[in-house]
Amino acid sequence: MTTDQTVTELWNRAKAIYLSSIFDEEEKSLTESYLDMISSVETDKDSFVIYTASKLTAELLGEKYSDKLKSSLTLAGGNPEWKIYFRYDEKISKGSKKTANFDFNKKTTVPSNLSSKKVPQNSFVSTLPLNEMYTFDEFVEGPSNGWALAAAKGVVENPGAMGYNPLFIHGGTGLGKTHLMQAIGNELVKRHQNIAVCYLTAETFLNEYVNAVQNAKVNGFREKYRNIDVLLLDDVQFLQKGKQCQDEFFNTFNTLAGARKQIVLTSDVAPKNLTVLNERLISRFEGGMVQEIESPTYETRLAILRKKTESMNVSIPDIAIKFIAENIKSHVRAMEGALGKVKVSLAFTSEEMITNEFLSKLLKDLIEKEQAIKNINIEDIQDFVIKKYGITKEQLLSTERTQIYVLPRQIAMYIARKCTSKSLQEIAKAFEKTHATILHGIKSVEARIKTDHKVKEEVDELLSSLGLSILQ
Ligand code: ADP
Ligand code: MG
């Protein structure tokens, strides 16, 4: 049995892959806490053994996660033939060697969305699983996304073709960029037997690069990316966080583009607004096809909602669909949230009771958020924050690093991002700062809210005085 660093790395990668396939935040954090109960892993030629500190945990985790972890391990580069064992390791608690063994392999099947058969094993590249629901068939076309959709289909017809490489899709959050990007991946995998499609977020790319640098494995990192046919890199705005990683990505990009491999990128802003990104990269991005996705029109919203209800096994009354389309306009993810709430309410409400009044109450939070997006602007937020903290606008906009200015400044940035539909670029302009400073400010408030209840209270208080709420 071996437990060297490679095995631990493989295990960490498999966990990251599995966790990234869970879209529900609550389920994700529950799974994370379950996986934290694993104390160590070992491997040999035929098996991968996962140790826990109690018999019950071994049994529970085996029942729950055996299949999923097996496929994630394969995706992470593990041997697809491995049998997975969950063992209770007594030596952890009692210092003895005895182990209880639970074998879950007979039941193991690889779920199709995590299947690794399309990625040749030797040319493994870490890839996050594609969501099998994100297909062209499930994507509703409308004037707000028609060009982006056409370009995505063009890529599928002719991957790597001049003029479409890279394809750069940008637009606000929840408007379908990831869906469209994964639809390209899903369709290519369906059409071409052995195509190696690599999907990952720029954040994952960045983390992996940092790991490679720390472990002196940059060559291996580079080598991996030479073997793929299609690179789908989601949310490239995150590359702005790492200067060195941008250079690395520039090289990867050139290698792939030079070999006529298709590259697809998404971002929340247009390439020219990725202000912290290296100029060379921006001009590469602009050298292919750039398409924007905008907020959907009323008709498209209706069509999207109808499409989403098809896959639900409950029929959603038309009055609810129309109500959502009329009241929730900013992004599709919020529309889906509203649809979910209506679906749940149908379990304890008869159809006749679903009136506009009922729906206004049921969807109050979402509608308030929507109205806040419409009504509030960055200046209002800044004015409110300076009043609350008793500082001047100059101090708020200054670069002074004193805490008494930094916190209000970052909170104002955070609220501007969460409660207006303004892009990062516009927020950066309003605060006379760079895109990266704004991102840093938002992240730091997010982190402090989690750890410092005083900051959380201050933010909540500000939000409620502004008549806003933040939906997570
Ligand atoms: P983004 O990556 O732009 O933030 P996503 O691709 O994650 O947005 O989309 C958010 C949700 O909205 C997904 O569930 C997606 O399926 C859905 N969605 C967005 N646009 C459309 C569309 N045109 N047709 C069907 N579903 C859509
Ligand atoms: Mg996305």
Bigger pLDDT: 369 vs 24:
369
Does 336 contact ligand 1 (Cβ within 6 A)? Answer: yes
Please tell me the distance from the alpha carbon of residue 431 to that of residue 424, in angstroms, as a whole number: 10
Does 174 contact ligand 1 (Cβ within 6 A)? Answer: yes
Does 333 contact ligand 1 (Cβ within 6 A)? Answer: yes
Please tell me the distance from the alpha carbon of residue 231 to that of residue 472, in angstroms, as a whole number: 30
Pair 265, 236: CB distance under 8 Å: yes
Q: What is the mean pLDDT of residues 105-119?
A: 37
Tens of pLDDT along 304-334?
Answer: 999 999 988 788 999 999 999 999 987 898 8
The pLDDT value given to residue 155: 96
**Dihedral (Cα; 85, 87, 91, 94), 10-degree rounding:** 180
Which of 156, 435, 113 shows the shortest CA–CA distance to 272? 435
Ligand 1 atom nearest residue 140's Cα: 24
Tens of pLDDT along 331-356?
Answer: 898 899 999 999 999 988 888 899 99
Lowest mean pLDDT among 173-182, 210-219, 339-348, 402-411: 210-219
Residue 160 Cα to ligand 2 midpoint, Å, equals 22
pTM (whole model) above 0.85: no
Q: What is the mean pLDDT of residues 77-95?
A: 75
Percent of the chain with pLDDT over 70: 88
Q: What is the mean pLDDT of residues 419-448?
A: 90
Please tell me the distance from the alpha carbon of residue 348 to that of residue 257, in angstroms, as a whole number: 55
The pLDDT value given to residue 2: 58
Please tell me the distance from the alpha carbon of residue 151 to that of residue 133, in angstroms, as a whole number: 20
Judge whether residue 465 has pLDDT over 80.
Answer: no
The pLDDT value given to residue 373: 67
pLDDT, averaged across the chain = 84
Residues 6+ apart with CB under 8 A from 374: none
The DSSP bridge partners found for residue 257 are none
Beta strands in 213-361 (DSSP E): 230-234, 262-267, 289-292
Q: Which one-letter DSSP state was computed for residue 106? A: G
Bigger pLDDT: 6 vs 212:
212
Bigger pLDDT: 460 vs 145:
145
Please tell me the distance from the alpha carbon of residue 406 to that of residue 426, in angstroms, as a whole number: 20
Ligand 1 atom nearest residue 175's Cα: 3
Tens of pLDDT along 268-302?
Answer: 889 988 878 889 999 999 999 999 999 899 999 99
Residue to probe by mutation, ligand 1, list 138, 175, 293, 330, most atoms within 8 Å of CB: 175
Residue to probe by mutation, ligand 1, list 186, 333, 424, 471, most atoms within 8 Å of CB: 333
Bigger pLDDT: 173 vs 304:
304
Ligand 1 atom nearest residue 179's Cα: 6
Q: How confident is the model at residue 469 (pLDDT cuts 50, 70, 90)?
A: low
Q: How confident is the model at residue 101 (pLDDT cuts 50, 70, 90)?
A: low
Bigger pLDDT: 118 vs 302:
302
